Amino acid sequence: MSIFSKIAKKSDEHEFFVDIPEGYSPGKTKYIITTGTVMSGLGKGIFNSSLAQLLQAKGLTIAPIKLEGYLNVDSGTLNPFRHGEVFVLDDGLECDMDLGTYERFLNLDLSKDNFMTAGRLFTRILDKERKGKYLGRDVQFVPHVTGEIKRVLRSLALRKKADIVLVEIGGTVGDIENSYYLEAMRELSYEEGPDNVCFVTLTYILEPGFLGEQKSKAAQLGIKNLLTAGIQPHIIACRCENPASEKVREKISVFSNVPFNRVFSSHDVKSIYLIPLSMKEAKLDEAVIDILGLKHRIKKGSIKRWEELVQNILNPEGEITIGITGKYTWLRDSYASIIKALEHAGAHCRTKVKIRWIETTDIESNKIPIEDAMKGLSGIIVPGGFGKRGTEGKISCIRYARENKMPYLGLCLGFQMAVVEYARNVCGLEGANTIEVEADCKHPVIAILPGQADLKSLGGNMRLGGHDVEIIKDTRAWELYGKRLSVRERFRHRYECNPPYIETLEKHGLVFSGKAPDQQIMQILELKDHPFFIGTQFHPEFTSKPLSSHPLYDGFIRAASAFSTSRPS
C-alpha cells in the first residue's frame, strides 16, 4: 500500500506525517537529489546545472532548488569572504551564487521558491507553531522539520509543473547543519516510491603530488556517511584534477553498491561550459532518464547553440585584458557574476577576456602609481561594494579612464564613484562625496534612498530585485539596448545620485541615460565624448546568460577591443 494512502492528519494517532499540498500527484514529478562528500566547493551547482541543461534539452521541465544549512534568513548579510557573491533574483531575494549558475545554464529567471535556508525554514515552522498549526503536538525535527522540507519541494513541483525537481543540498554530508535535509530526502524517497527519486553524489578523489597516484579512501569514507544516513546513491561523480582512473572507479563502485558504469569521472576541463558536453559524452543524462523511468516523456532536442558557444570560447579571434578594481580581489567568487558576464560577452564577440585584479587600497596609499596599475589594460570595471575602504583608489581609476578615453563600466558603487569623481574634477564641487563614506561631506552628491534613512537592520531592506528602467532616446544606452525605451534590470543598493545635484552634473556634460519611471532616481550615466563610459546603478551581470550576453557588457568588450587595437604598442 502506498504511503500516500495512509496519510493522517497531524495528530497523536499516527506516525505518518506527510503534509501533501493540494493537487499534488505522486510520481508526476521526479526528484534528483545532489549531495557532496569529503569537502565543500566541489562544484555541485555547476554539475547540477550542466545535468539539468541536458535534461532540459530533451524537453523536460526542470525546477532547481538549493537547500542551505546556515541559519541566516537569506544571503544578504553574508561577507563575500565567507560565502562568495550574493546573487539577487528578480523578486528581490538575496541568495547563494549557485542560483546564478542555474539561471545562466537553464536560461531561467528563478524566485524565492528556488532557495531555502535553515533560517527561512525554521521561521516558517515556528510561525506555524505560534498559530497552533500543529494541533498541540511537540514540534520536532522528525516529523515537522523534515515534513516542511518535503512540502517545500512538492509545492515547487506543483507551481512549476516540473517533470524534475533538482535539489542541491549545500555543504558536505556529515555536517550537522544539513543532517535534517538528508533525513528529509531519505523520507521523500521512501514516500515517493521506486523510480521517482535519483540520488547523485559528488565526491573528491585525492591525488597527492608526493604519491603520484589517485587515492579513493577519503571518498569511500565520505560515501559511508551517506550510506549511514540511509541513502543509497544511484550515481557517483568523482571530482578530480585528472580523469579518474578505472581502478579508482572500481573501488568506489564496490564500496558504494553503485554499478561501475554509473561512477563517472568529473575531472577539470578548460572551461565550465565544456561540462555539459562531457556529461553528454559520458551518457550521464541517459543514466538519469533510465533511473527515473522518463523515456516516455523525452522529446527530440538539441544543444547545438551551446556547442557553438564552446567553439567561440575555445577559438577566440582576439585577446584583451580588463582591470577589475575592488577590495575582495583575492577571492574570485566575490565577483562571480561579473566574471561570467565577461565570459559571455567575450564568447559573443569572439574575444578572450583576461582579468587583472586591482587592489585599490594600493593605489590609495600610493604603493602602486595609477599609471602602472592601468598599464596594458583595455578597459576597467569598478564593481559593486559597500564601505569606505578603497573608494579613493577607485575614484583615481575612474578619473584615469575618463581622461585617457579608456573604456569604463561602473556597477552600482561604480556608478556612485563615477558621480563623485565627475562632481569633484569636472563640476568643481570640492569635497563632493557619498554620505556612505563621509556623512557630513560638503557636497553629498550620493545620498540615501528615500525610505532608507530610518532603517536599522541590514537584512533585506535595500532596493532589491528587478525594476523597470526608462531609457532616454538617442543615448549610448538606448543604442546598446536595441533602441528600447524600457528595460528590466536587477538592483541591490541603498544610495542614489542626490537629486539636488542632478542639474549641475548634467550642465557640465554628464548624461543620465536611464532613470526610474516617474521618479528622480538616476540609474544609468554616460559621457558623450568618450568611446565607452557607462555607469549603472543596477547589476547587468545578474541577467547575463551564456547564450544571450548582456548588451552593456557586449558594448564594453567591443569598445575595449577597439581601444586595444588603437593603443600605441
pLDDT tens-digit series, residues 151-194? 999 999 999 999 999 999 999 999 999 999 999 999 999 999 98
Q: What are the residues whose beta carbons fall under 8 Å from the beta carbon of 357, sequence distance 6 or more?
A: 323, 324, 326, 329, 330
Which residues are CB-contacts of 539 (< 8 A; sequence separation ≥ 6)? 88, 337, 384, 411, 412, 489, 490, 491, 492
pLDDT at position 5 is: 56
Q: Is the pLDDT of residue 56 over 60?
A: yes
- 13, pLDDT greater than 70: no
| More reliable by pLDDT, 82 or 7 | 82
Pick from 553, 525, 490: nearest CA to 85: 490
Per the prediction, the chain carries an average pLDDT of 91
The Cα 216–Cα 219 span in angstroms is 5
pLDDT over 90 (residue 203): yes
Report, as an integer, the average pLDDT of 546-556.
97
d(CA 332, CA 383): 13
Residue 211 pLDDT: 87
Residue 60 DSSP label: -
> How many Cα atoms are found within 13 Å in the side-chain-facing hemisphere of 200?
28
The pLDDT assigned to 19 comes to 74
- What is the spatial distance between Cα 163 and Cα 166, in angstroms, rounded to a whole number? 10
Question: Does the structure show a pLDDT above 50 at 1?
Answer: no
> 328 Cβ partners below 8 Å, 6+ apart?
80, 81, 334, 335, 385
Q: What is the pLDDT of residue 454?
A: 52
Joined together, the cell numbers standing for residue 82 give 565567507
Which has the higher per-residue pLDDT, 84 or 101? 101
Q: Is pLDDT at 462 greater than 90 in this prediction? A: no
Domain 29-305 classified CATH 3.40.50.300? yes
From the candidates 68, 421, 436, 541, give the one annotated as an active-site residue: 541
Q: Is the pLDDT of residue 525 over 50?
A: yes
Question: What is the structure's pLDDT at 362?
Answer: 83
For 481-504, give one letter per residue: b (16+ CB within 10 A) or e.
beeeeebebbbbbbbbbbeebbee
Spatial separation of the C-alpha atoms in residues 480 and 124, rounded to whole Å:
44
Q: Of the residues 344, 467, 493, 539, which is catalytic?
A: 539
Say which CATH topology domain 316-566 has.
Answer: Rossmann fold (3.40.50)
Q: How far apart are CA 532 and CA 544, in angstroms?
A: 19
Look up 412 and say whether it is catalytic. yes
Q: Rg of the chain's alpha carbons, rounded to an integer?
A: 26
Residue type, 450: P
Cβ–Cβ < 8 Å for 380, 563: no
Instruction: Decide which of 66 and 19 is more confident.
Output: 66
Query: With 50 as the cut, is the pLDDT of residue 222 above it?
Result: yes
Q: What counts of helices (H) and strands (E) characterise the chain?
A: 19, 21
Cis peptide before 143 (omega within 30 of 0): yes
What confidence tens digit (pLDDT) does each residue in 382-436 have? 998 877 777 899 999 999 999 999 999 999 999 999 999 999 999 999 999 999 9
Query: Which is the catalytic residue, given 238, 349, 412, 427?
Result: 412
* Residue 428 backbone class (left: φ over 0; alpha: ψ -120 to 50; beta: rest): left
Q: Which amino acid is at 328?
A: Y
Could you tell me if 489 and 467 are in contact, meaning their C-beta atoms sit under 8 angstroms apart? yes
Q: Grid coordinates in use for 8?
A: 493522517
- Give me the residue spans of the domains in the chain: 29-305, 316-566
Q: Which long-range contacts (CB under 8 A, 24 or more apart) does 549-553 make?
A: 549/341, 549/344, 549/345, 549/347, 549/348, 550/341, 550/344, 550/345, 551/480, 551/481, 551/482, 552/409, 552/477, 552/480, 553/341, 553/342, 553/344, 553/345, 553/409
Q: What pLDDT does residue 8 have?
A: 44
Does residue 282 carry a pLDDT above 70?
yes
In this model, does residue 289 exceed pLDDT 80?
A: yes
pLDDT digits (tens, 9 = 90+) for 128-146: 999 998 877 889 999 999 9
pLDDT tens column, 296-325: 999 888 899 999 999 999 999 999 999 999
Mean pLDDT in residue range 215-232: 95
Whole-prediction pTM: 0.92
pLDDT recorded at residue 482: 96
Band of pLDDT at residue 557, cut at 50, 70 and 90 = very high
- Model pLDDT for residues 321-372, shown as the tens digit of each residue: 999 997 655 566 789 999 999 999 999 999 999 999 998 888 888 888 999 9
The upper half-sphere exposure of residue 166, i.e. CA atoms within 13 Å in the direction of its Cβ, equals: 23
Q: Give the pLDDT confidence score for residue 442 in this predicted structure.
A: 94
pLDDT at 235 over 70: yes
Q: What is the pLDDT of residue 227?
A: 96
pLDDT tier for residue 11 given thresholds of 50, 70 and 90: very low
How far is it, in rounded angstroms, from Cα 168 to Cα 68?
A: 9
Q: What is the mean pLDDT of residues 79-104?
A: 89
Q: Which three cell numbers stand for residue 182?
A: 538528508
- Which pLDDT band, with edges at 50, 70 and 90, does 15 fall under? low
Active site residue 129: no
Which H or E run includes 69? none
Beta bridge partners of 443: 432
Q: In the predicted model, what is the mean pLDDT of residues 492-505? A: 94
CA distance 230 to 166: 20
Does residue 226 surpass a pLDDT of 90? Answer: yes
Share of the chain above pLDDT 70, in %: 93
542 CB-side CA count, 13 A: 33
